[in-house]
Amino acid sequence: MNKSIIVLIATIAFFSCSTAQKTLEKSTTGTSDIKKSMIKALEWQEAHPIFAIAPTDWTEGAYYTGVTRAHKATKDMMYMAALKNQAYWNNWQTFDRLHHADDVAISYSYLYIDINDGRRNFVDLEPTKKFLDAHLFENDEWKAGADKSDMGKTILWWWCDALFMAPPVLNLYAKHTNQPKYLEEMHKFYMETYNQLYDKEERLFARDMRFVWTGSDKDQKEPNGKKIFWSRGNGWVIAGLALLLEDMPKDYENRPFYENLFKEMSTRILELQPSDGLWRTSLLCPETYDHGEVSGSGFYTFAIAWGINNGLVDKKHIPAVKKAWNALAKCQHEDGRVGWVQNIGAFPEPATADSWQNFGTGAFLMAGSEVIQLLD
Amino acid sequence: MNKSIIVLIATIAFFSCSTAQKTLEKSTTGTSDIKKSMIKALEWQEAHPIFAIAPTDWTEGAYYTGVTRAHKATKDMMYMAALKNQAYWNNWQTFDRLHHADDVAISYSYLYIDINDGRRNFVDLEPTKKFLDAHLFENDEWKAGADKSDMGKTILWWWCDALFMAPPVLNLYAKHTNQPKYLEEMHKFYMETYNQLYDKEERLFARDMRFVWTGSDKDQKEPNGKKIFWSRGNGWVIAGLALLLEDMPKDYENRPFYENLFKEMSTRILELQPSDGLWRTSLLCPETYDHGEVSGSGFYTFAIAWGINNGLVDKKHIPAVKKAWNALAKCQHEDGRVGWVQNIGAFPEPATADSWQNFGTGAFLMAGSEVIQLLD
Amino acid sequence: MNKSIIVLIATIAFFSCSTAQKTLEKSTTGTSDIKKSMIKALEWQEAHPIFAIAPTDWTEGAYYTGVTRAHKATKDMMYMAALKNQAYWNNWQTFDRLHHADDVAISYSYLYIDINDGRRNFVDLEPTKKFLDAHLFENDEWKAGADKSDMGKTILWWWCDALFMAPPVLNLYAKHTNQPKYLEEMHKFYMETYNQLYDKEERLFARDMRFVWTGSDKDQKEPNGKKIFWSRGNGWVIAGLALLLEDMPKDYENRPFYENLFKEMSTRILELQPSDGLWRTSLLCPETYDHGEVSGSGFYTFAIAWGINNGLVDKKHIPAVKKAWNALAKCQHEDGRVGWVQNIGAFPEPATADSWQNFGTGAFLMAGSEVIQLLD
């Protein structure tokens, strides 16, 4: 075959490559690519509304918290349009169990809109205030400590996910309305959870009391004999810590506690990062479900990148963050869907390329929003 | 390089460009392809909400019944997300004419969610119960038989479409709440319709009394002199029968009536299948609008495949079902839209490649959901 | 030719197949292409809901007015589905400031549905009537003329955008309900605005009193020393005039005033058209932001094409309209988004390829709907 024919054919093949898209290896290092991935994730998620029990529940709360971060990082008004749209149709309501941290997570987005949209008489923070006051100051079954189950529902925030759901809202509400008492109360309950669920040796949170070892033969173990530390559960905590630290007064007396906890966990999470960049759903027993999981990994990527951007994590970890983001980006389908998200749960379970959830998209957006700033 | 080679390459390049997706012959035989077509249909329909008078009306009722079947067959949670989303925003309401079978069709989806989502305090079946009680037990103009029009509104379900709208809801409600009286009452009204509209000779339902021959010169006829049997109208009946039989107690005394009717109609519908697989909008006068119509054909494909899957239709008809599905799949646009759907109506009218309706998408999903099981 | 070459070429051709679409230069001259562009614009906008303060506000009002025009021109029921969907979820409400013209713009779509959908007991015009009566007949701060700001809020419609927001609704309401008093009242307030803001020399409207020259040194000027005439502001007026004239009685005594104003402005706008077809955001100082802006240009294209279609603008201007449309079509992204739309504002500001707003999509749809009729 004639050489010039080969060249010509090669040329045709090259130009026909716009074809590509589907198969072209995505370059994810530039912020422009990250922004495109994020917008596609938003568009897909908005086109596929999902919730557990209501559009004001924690799944939407976590998702729209991700949308606030994406807006903050990019100023793309598509994010603000989505935020306002959900808030309007949700009529600025929390979900309805006032003792349950999950049900106020959505208020983080309402606060963000109030602070950033700048339209008078638009945001209604009354339902949020009503929730927070009842949540902090009214009695309930959990605070009463009457629970006899093995989950340890004897404190307000008895499961570690709660540290993402309520504390950042309380902290931001305190700042926005200039009422430090909400922060102070937050700290009180935070310490209860920390004391109950934080494993100082492993520097990780048990999801709830079922996973805290007591020395009994009945203690739950992974197949490899280790403790069960759930990736997303710790993701909730460390992402929540980054959110907290961002809006916590620099001179707040308990700020060092949160900074130290954040640093401790960041270091540990970095130690545990698998070589392909994405954390497994069980942190100490990665071999059980040996594939990256996006919700936990997204929260870790967000938190660590935030730590670097804010001087709490060493810049030497930038490559780890880039590796994580590149791996996260590969979990996104061509149409924007963020896959490899473990479904709603409370302990390690597997995900698939197709498994998705709004909070997984939220974690993805949170990760991207800080990685952009890391690269800028 | 030889000139003719250049020309050839240019020609290939040119033609390969327009190729484009649209004309690529879809392989529709595998269940994986069917599942993809179904998800695309759902995504397109969710992005193009439509209703006649409200999102709780029969058009949405039929569509979301299709979504329940798709979820049941595939367990893809995208269907459940869509079901819950509409139900939440519809606040579990029926539409508001309590004597009108159309207005309770949406409750089939509410019942499905209650049975399958398993979340306590989520589904509100009170509006459905209120509707059903009024529908069955309160007097109204139609039951009173005072109507003097030619449509024969002298029984509760005076048009054959009604047999899809209300009976499956009553049957499933009876089963789910363990109250056989709803099934018994259903049967009473079903028989009235059967007696009024079923043509035992043709083994098809007239849409309403306008199309029942009386021997008068004024009897409505097709151009070829035959009776007018509307494809979608009979689709409503036979698809409704499959839904009924699925949840009707095996030992229910009147079950044999429904099984026989289902078999009789299935046989007749199969006899009438055009060679390209899709039924025309006028069953006995296919030449009037000589193109396949998707809503009627989708319901037939669903019903006959269900019959095979459940032992009521002989397996020798599997090729007919496959042919029907392959032809249905070709009516779907590249972007997911299900075309060739006759618009809202009450007798044979033409469709086009572009004409769509949510209930047509529902019929498509119902068909796909049973064909998957047939092939598995 | 060598067999292996043929195989290789065939292979290339096969893989290059999906290329297509993205790079193919769009031909925008045919009505079929315009219709496709319009549907894509609708689909994108429906998938990206946005509003300033509520889905009943003027941004949605302008967008859905565009959707009514698209439906009127094409009869594609996708437009009617979108219209009914928003109206249903907005519960036929206006927005809530009864003295503010912006807040009744959405009612144009409600009136259109009532006139064209033909479903009894569906449209609720009570909120519109309540608004219009309060708007016209109740006192308020603006009518009282007590405003001391430089914006001149001393008349009901003190900014020129208002002439799009309320007058077409009043005019259509008067026609639809056969109550000429709404038209008569409209005229009274229209004249106030005309007298306050219309620059007879420039044949353009100042946006509000800040931009009306008084002879003082403090008069606002463009860098080139000329008056500030905002493209979108004049777009609101002239598009509103076309809407008004379409439904204003032919024998209405003040109709000549509106016809003359329409002709005067059309001529002026045509004089000012830049050579690439699209108007700049500052009409008399195009060099400040030297790029086409889509919301103003869309309204102009709509109005002038409407004028040609209705005998008020000479057919010799058809090429100018075609040029404008072709340039507008190039502002649409591949996914349907209409870019180059100046964001919410009150005077000339720049746009970008990515900047979008629902009212920009509305202007695009209005333009396309008349250009289709021009070409037919």
Residues facing C198 on adjacent strands:
C205
pLDDT at C30 over 90: no
Quickly state the pLDDT bin for A223 (edges 50, 70, 90). very high
Tell me the one-letter amino acid at C288. Answer: T
From A229, A232, A343, A350, select the one nearest A283 (Cα to Cα).
Answer: A229
A and C: number of Cβ contacts within 8 A: 51
Do residues B109 and B86 lie in contact, with contact meaning Cβ atoms separated by under 8 Å?
Answer: yes
How many angstroms separate the CA atoms of B166 and B102, rounded? 7
Q: What is the DSSP letter of C205?
A: E
From A359, A361, A300, select the one nearest A336 (Cα to Cα).
Answer: A361
pLDDT at C241 over 80: yes
Quickly state the pLDDT bin for B121 (edges 50, 70, 90). confident
How many angstroms separate the CA atoms of B154 and B151, rounded? 9
* Whole-Å CA distances, B133 to B130, B188, C140, C220: 5, 15, 51, 71
Q: Which residue has the tokens 């003027």?
A: C58
The token pair at C168 is 């077409």
Digit-coded pLDDT (tens) for A161-178: 999 999 999 999 999 999
Average pLDDT over residues A187-212: 98
C161 is catalytic: yes
pLDDT at residue A263 in the model? 98
pLDDT at residue A29 in the model? 60
Q: What is the CATH code for A32-375?
A: 1.50.10.10
Q: What is the DSSP letter of C151?
A: T
The token pair at B287 is 């030449």
Nearest to A19 among C18, C53, C55 (CB): C18
Backbone dihedral angles phi then psi of residue B205, each to the nearest 5 degrees: -95, 135
pLDDT at C42 over 70: yes
* Whole-Å CA distances, B368 to B71, B363, B375: 11, 9, 11
From C332, C325, C282, C276, select the one nearest C300 (Cα to Cα).
Answer: C325
Q: Is B50 on the interface with A (CB under 8 A)?
A: no
Q: How far is CA B212 from the centre of its chain?
A: 23
Quickly state the pLDDT bin for A30 (edges 50, 70, 90). confident
Q: With contacts defined as CB-CB under 8 Å, which chain B residues touch A343?
A: 77
Backbone dihedral angles phi then psi of residue C205, each to the nearest 5 degrees: -95, 135
Do residues A181 and A174 lie in contact, with contact meaning Cβ atoms separated by under 8 Å?
Answer: yes
Nearest to A2 among B1, B9, B81 (CB): B1
Q: Is A9 on the interface with B (CB under 8 A)?
A: yes
How many angstroms separate the CA atoms of C199 and C206, rounded? 7
Return the axis-axis angle of helices B107-116 and B77-89, rounded to nearest 10°.
120
How many angstroms separate the CA atoms of C363 and C66, rounded? 6
Do residues C308 and C317 lie in contact, with contact meaning Cβ atoms separated by under 8 Å?
Answer: yes
Q: With contacts defined as CB-CB under 8 Å, which chain C residues touch B47?
A: 43, 46-47
Q: Which residue has the tokens 């008809």?
A: B317
User: Hey, which residues 304-343 in chain A have their CB within 8 Å of chain C?
Assistant: none
Residue C259: count other Cβ atoms within 10 Å of its Cβ.
17
Quickly state the pLDDT bin for A21 (edges 50, 70, 90). very low
**B46:A47 CB<8 A:** yes
- ipTM entry: 0.91
| DSSP, residue by residue, A175-201 | HHHT-THHHHHHHHHHHHHHHHHEETT
How many angstroms separate the CA atoms of C26 and C138, rounded? 52
Do residues C109 and C61 lie in contact, with contact meaning Cβ atoms separated by under 8 Å?
Answer: yes
Backbone dihedral angles phi then psi of residue B198, each to the nearest 5 degrees: -80, 130
Residues facing C332 on adjacent strands:
C338
The token pair at A308 is 């670097």
How many angstroms separate the CA atoms of A274 and A272, rounded? 6
- Give burial (CB, 10 Å; 0-12/13-18/19+) of C88: middle
The token pair at B2 is 């030889």
pLDDT at C328 over 90: yes
- Give burial (CB, 10 Å; 0-12/13-18/19+) of A188: exposed
pLDDT at residue C20 in the model? 31
* Whole-Å CA distances, A279 to A203, A231, A367: 16, 7, 14
Q: Coil, strand, or helix at residue A338? A: strand
The token pair at A115 is 């602070």
- CATH of the structural domain B27-375, one choice from 1.50.10.10, 3.40.50.1820, 3.10.20.30, 3.30.420.40: 1.50.10.10
For C23, nearest residue in chain A (alpha carbons): A18
R_g of chain C computed on alpha carbons: 22
Backbone dihedral angles phi then psi of residue A371, each to the nearest 5 degrees: -65, -40
- Give burial (CB, 10 Å; 0-12/13-18/19+) of B275: exposed
**C122:B53 CB<8 A:** yes
CATH 3.40.50.920 fits domain C29-375: no
Q: With contacts defined as CB-CB under 8 Å, which chain A residues touch B81?
A: 48-51
pLDDT at residue C104 in the model? 98
Which residues are CB-neighbours of C53 under 8 A, at least 6 positions away? A119, A122, C95
Which residues are CB-neighbours of B209 under 8 A, at least 6 positions away? B150, B151, B152, B158, B196, B197
Q: Coil, strand, or helix at residue B204? A: strand
How many angstroms separate the CA atoms of B366 and A227, rounded? 46
Q: What is the DSSP letter of C204?
A: E
Do residues A51 and B82 lie in contact, with contact meaning Cβ atoms separated by under 8 Å?
Answer: no
pLDDT at B13 over 50: no
Q: Is B51 on the interface with C (CB under 8 A)?
A: yes
Q: With contacts defined as CB-CB under 8 Å, which chain C residues touch B4?
A: 1
The token pair at A286 is 């990665």
Sign of the alpha-carbon dihedral angle for B96, A94, A56, A109: positive
Which of A6, A19, A86, A123 should one mutate to test binding to chain C, selecting the residue with the greatest count of C CBs within 10 A?
A19
pLDDT at residue C120 in the model? 85
Do residues B340 and B43 lie in contact, with contact meaning Cβ atoms separated by under 8 Å?
Answer: no
- What angle (nearest 5°) sits at the alpha carbon of residue C369, between those of residues C163 and C82? 85
pLDDT at residue C29 in the model? 60
Q: Which residue has the tokens 């503010």?
A: C100
Tell me the one-letter amino acid at A322. Answer: K
The token pair at B288 is 């009037």
Do residues C229 and C201 lie in contact, with contact meaning Cβ atoms separated by under 8 Å?
Answer: no
Return the axis-axis angle of helices A358-375 and A318-330, rounded to nearest 10°.
140
Digit-coded pLDDT (tens) for C65-115: 999 999 999 999 999 999 999 999 999 999 999 999 999 999 999 999 999
Nearest to C12 among A1, A16, A85 (CB): A16
Average pLDDT over residues B348-363: 98
Tell me the one-letter amino acid at C166. Answer: A
Helix residue ranges per DSSP H, chain C: 3-15, 31-47, 58-74, 77-89, 107-116, 126-137, 141-144, 162-165, 167-176, 181-197, 231-247, 255-271, 294-309, 318-330, 358-375
Average pLDDT, chain B: 93
Digit-coded pLDDT (tens) for C187-231: 999 999 999 999 999 999 999 999 999 999 999 999 999 999 999
pLDDT at residue C257 in the model? 98
| Segment holding A24, helix H or strand E | none
How many angstroms separate the CA atoms of C232 and C244, rounded? 18
Average pLDDT over residues B93-120: 96
| DSSP, residue by residue, A228-276 | --BHHHHHHHHHHHHHHHHHS-TT-TTHHHHHHHHHHHHHHHHHT--TT
Percent over 70 (pLDDT), chain A: 92
pLDDT at A11 over 80: no
The token pair at C72 is 């009127």
For B1, nearest residue in chain C (alpha carbons): C1
**E strands present in chain B:** 198-199, 204-205
Average pLDDT, chain C: 93
**A53:B1 CB<8 A:** no
Do residues A145 and A155 lie in contact, with contact meaning Cβ atoms separated by under 8 Å?
Answer: yes
Q: Is B44 on the interface with C (CB under 8 A)?
A: no
Digit-coded pLDDT (tens) for A243-277: 999 999 999 999 999 999 999 999 999 999 999 99
Q: What is the DSSP letter of A332?
A: B
How many angstroms separate the CA atoms of C332 and C36, rounded? 12
Annotated active-site residue in A57, A114, A161, A208: A161
How many angstroms separate the CA atoms of C305 and C308, rounded? 5
The token pair at A205 is 């949170």
From A254, A243, A266, A241, select the one nearest A321 (Cα to Cα).
Answer: A266
